[in-house]
């Protein structure tokens, strides 16, 4: 039914087991609290190992930039008969004038109809030269695109030219610049938003940006380790992961701020953070898993054209979920240790009790909202 390689099936099974264990672990926080902030050294140690692995791969292997960042030539062709990606790739291997470098092939899943009523399958071929041109670009020049098209026609049959485009070194330089600029602006604006959102407390913005940097380095490093190509969709995935990481951190930070106001200095800040993380853990796990389940399906069954994008999001969102809980929150504790925040006024809740002290009879199971209010007898009977 599903045409997957044996190793892909092993990977899919591992993901299913891992997601199942995460669900069980996340639900356990509804019944017990754990001293998460007491084990900060372990979390930082795990992250340090991942960062060393990522940075080491970047230093040794470097990044495998795709056509969007290195330049190249794109041919759009129409085939009167259905062909596979492997057939096109095999035809490209025989082309030697000039020697080709990177190759990327996309084929349409269905036949399309042109203006004349003829049907064709759309084929997109992206290639680079093995050796750069005198100007430093890797795009095909002069009559080389036409020669490649004729070569493919001789191997695959009559092909209809739909379009040709080349990406030179000037455009690739602009793409790299704007990719880094977009990431920098996103982090700056998100940090500013969190600073304003949490009452001019800069510690929240710094903790969130530390988590984002953690996610970005691991995401780029594991891409390097896997030898996957970086292209424009990867930049989109990078910004998506940054936004997701901040979203998860803001949920936790909001509960920390509420509890900090609720206790009004009666509990140490690390204990308040630990209570808050325990209260939001089930929600964090559930929201992350709904995204990961979809991405696993896309990665294993979405076809080769979506694998790079799905891989980037799988790595990034997994790292983002981890960093929001085990990096951002502990970083907030460390910052507060050296830079104490202003004392908070105690918030008055009529008939309210502390979130950690709610009687189990009245606890709203299945939710993470708090502080909780005592239910009336009528409400209890209806439940």
Domain covering 72-167: architecture: 2-Layer Sandwich (3.30)
- 340-377 pLDDT, tens digit per residue, is 665 454 444 444 444 444 444 334 344 444 444 444 44
Is the per-residue pLDDT at 227 higher than 70?
Answer: yes
Secondary structure string (H, E, C) spanning 230-283: ECHHHHHHHHHHHHHHHHHHHHHHHHHHHHHHHHCCCCCHHHHHHHHHHHHHHH
Report how far residue 124's alpha carbon sits from residue 163's, in angstroms, rounded to the nearest whole number. 9
What is the CATH number assigned to the segment(s) 8-65+172-338?
1.20.1640.10
In three-state secondary structure terms, 378 is helix
When mean pLDDT is compared over 51-55, 141-145, 307-311, the highest value belongs to 51-55
- Give the start-to-end residue ranges of the domains of the chain: 8-65+172-338, 72-167
pTM beyond 0.85: the answer is no
pLDDT of residue 51: 95
pLDDT above 70 coverage of the chain, percent: 84
Average pLDDT over residues 199-221: 88
Is the per-residue pLDDT at 164 higher than 80?
Answer: yes
Is the per-residue pLDDT at 2 higher than 60?
Answer: no
325: closest CA among 366, 292, 280? 280
Interhelix angle 40-60/202-226, nearest 10 degrees: 50
């Amino acid at each position: 039914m599903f045409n997957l390689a044996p190793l892909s099936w092993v990977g899919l099974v591992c993901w299913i087991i891992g997601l199942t264990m995460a669900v069980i672990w996340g639900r356990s926080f509804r019944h017990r609290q754990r001293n998460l902030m007491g084990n900060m050294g372990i979390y930082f140690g795990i992250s340090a190992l991942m960062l060393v692995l990522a940075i080491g791969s970047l230093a040794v292997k470097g990044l495998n930039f795709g056509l969007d960042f290195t330049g190249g030539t794109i041919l759009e062709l129409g085939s009167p008969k259905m062909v596979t990606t492997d057939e096109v790739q095999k035809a490209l291997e025989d082309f030697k004038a000039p020697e080709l470098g990177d190759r990327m092939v996309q084929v349409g899943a269905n036949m399309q109809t042109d203006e004349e009523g003829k049907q064709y399958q759309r084929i997109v071929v992206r290639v680079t030269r093995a050796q750069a041109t005198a100007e430093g670009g890797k795009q095909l020049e002069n009559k080389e695109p036409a020669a490649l098209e004729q070569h493919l026609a001789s191997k695959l049959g009559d092909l209809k030219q739909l379009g040709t485009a080349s990406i030179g070194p000037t455009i690739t330089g602009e793409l790299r610049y704007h990719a880094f600029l977009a990431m920098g602006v996103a982090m700056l604006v998100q940090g500013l938003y969190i600073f304003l959102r949490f009452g001019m407390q800069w510690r929240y913005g710094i903790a969130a940006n530390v988590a984002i940097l953690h996610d970005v380095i691991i995401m780029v490093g594991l891409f390097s380790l896997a030898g996957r190509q970086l292209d424009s969709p990867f930049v989109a995935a990078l910004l998506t992961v940054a936004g997701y990481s901040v979203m998860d951190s803001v949920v936790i930070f909001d509960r920390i701020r509420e509890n900090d106001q609720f206790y009004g200095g009666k509990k140490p800040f690390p204990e308040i953070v630990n209570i808050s993380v325990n209260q939001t853990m089930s929600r964090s796990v559930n929201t992350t898993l709904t995204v990961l389940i979809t991405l696993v399906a896309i990665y294993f069954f979405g076809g080769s054209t979506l694998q790079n994008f799905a891989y980037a999001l799988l790595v990034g969102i997994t790292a983002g979920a981890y960093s929001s809980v085990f990096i951002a929150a502990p970083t907030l504790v460390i910052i507060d240790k050296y830079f104490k925040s202003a004392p908070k006024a105690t918030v008055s809740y009529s008939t309210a009790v502390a979130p950690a002290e709610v009687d189990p009879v009245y606890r709203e199971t299945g939710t993470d909202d708090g502080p909780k209010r005592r239910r009336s007898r009528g409400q209890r009977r209806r439940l």
